[in-house]
Amino acid sequence: MRLFTAIDLPAPVLDTLARLLDRLRPTAHLKWSPIENLHITTKFIGEWPESRRAELESALRSLGSFEPIPIRLRGLGFFPNPQAPRVFWVGVEAGPDLAELARRTDAALARLGVPPETRPFSPHLTLARIKEPVPLSGLRQAIARLETVEFGEFRADRFYLYLSELRPAGSVYTKLSEFPFTP
């Protein structure tokens, strides 16, 4: 099983992002993310045996309590940089609790043998992947014409364990478990 943990987005935020994607998709031939796949990844786990799923879930339940985390979606950008982009993203702004959730998740799963993160936690929503160089001038012009780069705010009060299945048409994500924050 290919797994990750993530925070879901509420319907009003997804509606705003759907309108954004409807506006931007025609401007560049990229591998655009389906709206139903948008989430804030807190830990990519990778391959994990089904026989050890309960052990993994137990570790995730042991992370401790969190207050709801205020999250704001704001700004657009490219990883690793605008000159050689591989990912087009929406920025995620949150207090230190989101990074702490990612840190605790990483530490708990490292004890089970999941490789720890080597890069700093950089929360974002992946709007599109850029596999090979393509013209982006139309996308850049569309971004410049946007009235706002504010895409919504919400309070996260849980995260999920997801299964990621790679299919020819793209990844399909299935929720396996829910982990409410319990203050």
124 noted as active-site residue: yes
Unique residue bearing structure tokens 């702490």: 100
29 noted as active-site residue: no
DSSP 8-class letter at 44: E
Given 124, 128, 154, 173, the catalytic residue: 124
- The closest of 81, 90, 86, 160 to 124, measured between CA atoms, is 90
Given 3, 5, 39, 78, the catalytic residue: 39
Q: How far is CA 170 from the centre of its chain?
A: 16
Q: What share of the chain is helix, strand, coil (3-state, %, to 5)?
A: 30, 40, 30
Question: Which residues have a catalytic role annotated?
Answer: 39, 124
